[in-house]
């Protein structure tokens, strides 16, 4: 696959798109990425540029309609939540760039929100709400109630959700994880204000919990190099990181399988960029990027905000 990024000189949103592409393409070996600076309208028409920045995938702009004119003007992209931004959201990039290691962060690039058909979304949301209110997956009666309107056994729906990597099951069919939550202890602990303390699968999942639930929360984790604590407080829509230098590493190893196997162990909090780079230098089998706080928060929000906002049916 050939991916091209077209920008005008000094485009302020070019670095934003480049960073998001680095996240989505982490671990991909099947993509050739090129960048072009476009100076004038004639070149924009020749290259198929529809504003700056433009992304071309195998020569096609997946975000432009058939009648979109070539342009060197600033470009805005509308997100799933209706807000406009200067670059496509991470989840939108995953959708258009297809499969690869990016599937580790979101169902082969299709996002973490299950389809409505067959009771998949209803059961997924029942599982997420149970974790959010009790800290644990729902019992059989609650699962049956969620699946009943669709005339499908809850066990079958869970199996389909696991096959599509919306959640994971153990050998007995019990829920092990439902992204962003884990049913077993992890190093990423989220205290939901007014609710339970839960475990998340990774750093990005932890950052997505407060946004998904629309609530305040306190995240605690540990730098795997120094063992120093990392703490993120969500209060009234604002976040505070301790230490102030903390970052997140977003990575994945090549291969196939669920996110729990491919990337959850490589999406971690670090006390600062130096320890993140030290740790990644010790793991030659992974590819990814060190994220600043704002980008890590945006990524968590992009992935998890829609999960309980969308109707179940």
Q: How many Cβ atoms are within 10 Å of 234's Cβ, its own excluded?
A: 22
Q: Contact at 8 Å (CB) between 154 and 120?
A: no
Domain spans of the chain, in order of start:
2-98, 117-176, 189-308
Mean pLDDT of 284-289: 80
Mean pLDDT of 25-40: 85
Per-residue model confidence (pLDDT) at position 80: 65
Q: Answer yes or no: same fold for 2-98 and 189-308.
A: no
What average pLDDT does the structure give for the chain? 89
H-type alpha helices, 98-253 = 120-134, 140-147, 154-163, 203-213
CA distances from 62 to 16, 30, 65, 95, 183 (A): 18, 18, 8, 10, 38
The whole-angstrom separation of Cα 222 and Cα 231 is 8
Mean pLDDT of 41-52: 94
* pLDDT category of residue 103 using cuts at 50, 70 and 90: very low
Mean pLDDT of 86-96: 85
Mean pLDDT of 141-153: 96
Reply yes or no on whether the pLDDT at 106 is more than 50: no
Q: Which residues, including other chains, have CB under 8 Å from residue 235's CB and lie 6 or more apart? A: 216
The whole-angstrom separation of Cα 135 and Cα 82 is 31
Reply yes or no on whether the pLDDT at 295 is more than 60: yes
Reply yes or no on whether the pLDDT at 141 is more than 70: yes
Q: Which CATH superfamily is domain 2-98 in?
A: Glutaredoxin (3.40.30.10)
Per-residue model confidence (pLDDT) at position 121: 95
Q: Which CATH class is domain 189-308?
A: alpha beta
Mean pLDDT of 169-188: 95
Reply yes or no on whether the pLDDT at 276 is more than 50: yes
The whole-angstrom separation of Cα 110 and Cα 113 is 8
Reply yes or no on whether the pLDDT at 5 is more than 50: yes
Q: What is the pLDDT of residues 190-202, one digit of tens each?
A: 999 999 999 999 9
Per-residue model confidence (pLDDT) at position 27: 65
Mean pLDDT of 135-157: 96
């Amino acid at each position: 696959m050939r991916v091209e990024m077209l920008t005008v000189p000094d485009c302020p949103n070019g670095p934003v798109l480049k960073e998001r592409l680095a996240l989505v393409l982490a671990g991909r070996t099947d993509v050739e990425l090129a960048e072009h600076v476009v100076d004038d309208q004639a070149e924009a028409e020749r290259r198929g540029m529809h504003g700056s920045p433009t992304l071309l995938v195998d020569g096609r702009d997946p975000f432009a309609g058939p009648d979109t004119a070539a342009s060197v003007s600033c470009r805005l992209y509308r997100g799933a939540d209706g807000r406009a931004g200067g670059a496509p959201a991470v989840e939108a990039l995953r959708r258009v760039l297809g499969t690869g290691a990016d599937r580790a962060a979101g169902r082969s690039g299709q996002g973490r929100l299950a389809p409505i058909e067959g009771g998949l979304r209803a059961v997924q949301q029942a599982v997420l709400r149970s974790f959010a209110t009790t800290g644990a997956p729902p019992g059989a009666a609650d699962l049956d109630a969620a699946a009943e309107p669709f005339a499908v056994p809850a066990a079958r729906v869970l199996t389909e959700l696991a096959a599509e990597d919306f959640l994971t099951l153990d050998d007995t069919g019990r829920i092990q994880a439902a992204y962003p939550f884990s049913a077993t202890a992890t190093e990423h602990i989220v205290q939901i204000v007014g609710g339970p303390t839960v475990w998340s699968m990774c750093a990005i999942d932890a950052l997505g919990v407060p946004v998904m639930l629309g609530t305040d929360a306190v995240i605690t984790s540990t730098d795997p190099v120094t063992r120093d604590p990392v703490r993120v407080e969500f209060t009234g829509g604002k976040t505070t990181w301790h230490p102030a230098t903390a970052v997140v590493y977003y990575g994945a190893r090549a291969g196939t399988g669920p996110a729990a196997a491919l990337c959850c162990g490589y999406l971690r909090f670090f006390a600062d960029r130096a320890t993140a780079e030290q740790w990644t230098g010790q793991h030659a089998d992974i590819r990814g990027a060190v994220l600043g706080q704002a980008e890590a928060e945006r990524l968590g929000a992009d992935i998890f905000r829609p999960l309980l906002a969308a109707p179940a049916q």
